[in-house]
Structure 1
Amino acid sequence: MQGSALGLDGLQLSALAKASVISKDVTEVTIGPDCKRASCSDVDNRSEKIYELDERNYVPVEDESSIKSHARNIEREDKSSRCLMKLMYELNRQRQMGVKDLMNRRFLEMEKDSQIRQLEVQRKYQYLTYEIKAKVDHEEQLVLRQLHEDEILASQRQQQLAQEHRQHAQRMNEWNEKLKEEEKRQKEAEEDERKRMKEKKIQLDKLYQYQVAYRTKYEEIVETAKQCKDKQAFVAKVSCHNAKLKSLKEAMDQLITQCKIGEVNDLDLETASTIVQQLEEILGVIREECQKINEQPDKEAVEASAAKEEQKEQATGSSQSTQALTSNRMIEELNDFVDRESFNVYISLQQHLQNFENSYKNLQKDDRLKEFRFECQKAVNIPVNAISPTSADHLQDKLFKLSRLISGQPVEVGHGQVTASSHPEGIAFCKNLLAKKFVCQGELTVSSKPEAAFAIAAVIEALWADFPDFGQLILGHFHRECPYLVPIFMPQVEGQSTEDYYKTLGYHYNESGEVEKQDRFLRRMSGIMRLYAAILISRPCRYQQNKSHPHGLSQAWRWISCMLNRDPKSDICATLLYDFLEVTGSAMYSHYGQQFQKLLHLICKEYFPKIEKIAPSVSSGPIIRLEAFLQKILKQGHIPPPAGILPPNFW
């Protein structure tokens, strides 16, 4: 047994020794499903190496016994190797079984540990769940408590706000009541003021009527004195009334002065009425005395009367009064009323206008051409009435139509066409009609809407530049409607009636023969002046840039210098001067600079005080406007552009 054990040990050792020898060659060769597959060349190489090893270990034998002995040894070694391999397989199997048991035990332990941890996690989860629930409940209680407190505070705040709102509403009601009371008091005060102003206006109108009546009676006295044949006898007869006339004049002047500085009462109206009545009585006495003197036969008086009748006939009508004014004697008398050069221009324009109007009398008198005249009027009125500063294209369209009309080209009117040149006098008729229509726009449109003047003036300036004779016509119509644009303050010529005289001043009479009210007259003159002044500062349109302005700022300087060189007349001077400065002041200030500043200084220091002295009480509106405008100029140091003026390069 011991020997077998030793044999086994020896066999094991021998196998291990051989295994160690061939281990280098079989390192890559294993047994089992995971072994590497070797190529045939690799197997042959290993076989050669084993053969070489066998050759190195080969020990040659000399006899047969040695060979047998060697064979037995080899057989023994083979048995030992099989035993060793079997032993190693058993050991490997036992080892694998032990590892499997160990792994099973380990898996059981791990499963047990996992169950233990799962239980611990479950206990922790339950604990955390309980803790979270407790905290949530606690927080919920806190939130509910806070909400309850907030509701209480909100209710208290709401009650406080409601109380404040009630107090505020009460205060507002009190303020509204006070405001209503104040508005009521203010309305009552305004109503009282309106009534007072209305009464004052009525009183001023009555006083003005008395003043006009006084002036008319006084002029009739002067006219009666002029008609008397024997001046010396007339003076001797009426000299007794001189003191009375002087006292009446002083009393009327005192009333006018009182209107400027104080209130007019019924006593003043009674005084004015008494003055007019006394003056009328004196006028009756003077007429009787003059009639008695004129009834006496006197050859020289008869000749003088005939000459006066001739002059009176010359004074009737606008053209006849113009001829009377052109006499050398009358021109000398007009030196105080108009500049000689301006008067010559005025007479020339009026004569040109009269001749131009006479040039198409046949067209006007022919009833067969009534429809043609009507179509020409439509061709003039429709574009002129539509002029507005809407856009440059709009103005150019109206200018194009009017230009074609007065140049004799066809123009569309309604659903048809009209050509002014189809009649020999048609172009002259349309030109004069257009000039008159433009001036009428100043009276009607510009007087109520001052900013409309600039678009109308732009079209007038463009037509004037293309048609100079049209410019002469429109200037003649301007002077006919408003002689103050010359400027001329027309005196009443000998033998001229009051109506004719007022017509030469620009007043209109209605069908019943009543002269228009002063406020309406001033409003018309204001519209004409604004349109004329807008023409002076208008800019040429784009296609006329190479043409000079036909009636520009030099004419503005001429007008205002002539105006300031004459004594002002009543409220018309304040009205026209205000409109002129408001429209042209900015352009003249920019163009003339320091010279225009000197002119303004002259107006403020010398000319305006003259207006205040002679203007009647009813002219307080124009006086106040002019005074406020001059004060604004002095305060600002410049004159702003007028409202509604067309921007540069508008068209």
Structure 2
Amino acid sequence: MDISKALKNTPKGSLTYDRRPPSKEFFEHCSPPPSISKRFDNSPNNRLTDHVLHKHRKGSIPDSASESSYDNVVQLTIRTDSSSPRIVEIISPTSPIEIVSPTHKKNIIPVSPEYTKSILAVKEYENSLDKEIKIKVYNKQQRFTEHTKKLQNEAENKLSVLQRNQQNKAEEQQQETELQFMQQTIELQEKQRKLKEDHREHAQMLQKKHEKLKEEIKRKEKERQERIQIAQTIRNDIATLLERLKTMYEQFTPKDRLPESLKKALNLVNNKLAEVSQMASRDVDTNEVVKMTEILKLCLNAYEYMRKEYDELTKKIKEEQAKEEAEKKARAEIEAKARAEAAAAAAKVNVVPPTPGVPSTPLATSTPAPSSTSRPATEAVLRCVDQNAFTQYTNLQVLIKKAEEESKTLFNNPQMKKMKFDIQKSINTPINNISPVSGDHLNDQLTRLLTLLAGRTVDLSGRRFSLSACPQALPFCKYLIAKMVVKKGEEQVSALHSSAFAIAAVTVGLLAEHPDILPMLLGHFHQLCPYTVPYHISKTDGQSREDFYKSLGYKYDSEGNAEKQDQFLKRMSGLMRLYASVMVAHPPRGPNPYGTEHAWEWLSMVMNIEPLPDITATMTFDLLEVTGHALYRDYRKQFVKLLHVLAKEFFPKLKRMASPSGGGPISRLEDFLQNSLRKNGNIRPPEGLLNQHFWMT
């Protein structure tokens, strides 16, 4: 295998190992036999030699030896077990010691029998020593043999362990090599499988791309057809709009009042139609479709604007025609009324009715203006109300009566009675909670009413209520809101004048979002207090006394008794103050939809009609006290001039028309005018007025 060859080529793989080492030489080198030092050698020869030498050194050699012919050498012949004797020559001290070899035969020393005995003893001793030595040597050899065997066994064990480890290592390497080979084989198979899978996925992706490309081509073709169809539809729609504009242009009468914008709209739509037709004649892209759509929107907006203007103009023309007819009818009625009152006017009888419950003679014979004797009867009647104001008053009363009839028809069904009750409760609760606590509090009440009018869900005593279940009830809601606001004037404002400004603030907030509530609000004000027109109603022929005083604003109890004059003036004062507060109140956002210009109009109209006792002075004082500061802020010098006219020309009329018991309203108005003129018209703000920033508190 490649791995085995690679391992053999490594530096360690090149080493050679002898698997049969020389065990004997190896052990000899490792543990050689112990050598015996000469010092511890106990052999007989060594001992004898040492003994002789020892004596020789001490000078104990026998005299016979020293006396021999050998002066310098002493020879000893010693026999051992060997055949040849061992001769030892001892050299005298004066000469060096020399050992003579045993082959030297001459100079042999003679021995005695005792020497022989000693030799035998020595030999026996030597034999015993030899046995002992042999035993020790044998024991040592045994120990050596055992030690050698032990070492050999240990070596063999180590060698076997080493061989076994090498074999195991070789087997492990072989297994690892085989495992690596298997892993490589598996990896190769996995790569091949993955490669096949990649090829398959790539083929599928190409197939999907091909299908997607085909679908894209179909989609683009479909979109192209849709764009062409849309372009044709837009062209047809613009052509339809052009035809409608042409129809409006042809049907409009009179032609002299035809608005110039209609002609411009015709030219615009005609030009855009030509542009769209040119684009629709070829393949159009998305940008061109968007452009054509914008052109269609432009044409639609132009058409809607022109249709709205056309409808408004048509409605205005019809209203003008109806107004002319109403004016003719009103003029005829006024002339008829003037003829009925001609006798009274000729006899210088005042057209002002007396106070109910008071004898009519003193008030009816009040001194009129000097010029009243020469006025025609028709002019005397027209002096009761301004003609335009009377027309508006009549239209508003018709609107109120129509709203009442529609509400009766709507809630005549028993199933709608619960709906009516829920509507009344959802309106009464926030209106009754209006108070100048904080701007957040007023915002909360206003939001509740706006939420109800928007058709969204409101909380009603722990349950949810919405007008979406009955959209036809929305006009009734607006009618009821206006009625409840005006009712707060005679019930709450008459007792606490400063409370009028919080109610007025919420009211103008409603008017800013729903301007169609204003006609109903004015209609209810004029119905309960005709002096807000101002309109001094005269008695007609055949009209009963009670009906006449009810038309003036008086209330009757169940027994048919009219309310007292001070109660009547207090109630009318509350209504007028609330009416005037609406003119100076600040909505949360934007300008007041019913501003101080209406206060100026009221003062101008009231000075041009004949005043009534007490009530005219009271209404004038209430309106000036509430709106005087705002009128001075808006008109400055013109308002000062108006105050001068009031003080010099109109106030004397009020004095002449005052009742004997009604000096209070006259004196209050007189003091107010004098103080205002003294300050050059700079009237202080009314007590309780809420400024624009109050909504943020």
Structure 2 length as normaliser, TM-score? 0.46
Larger Rg: 2
Q: Answer 1 or 2: higher relative contact order, Cα 8 Å, separation at least 6.
A: 1
Structure 1 length as normaliser, TM-score? 0.49
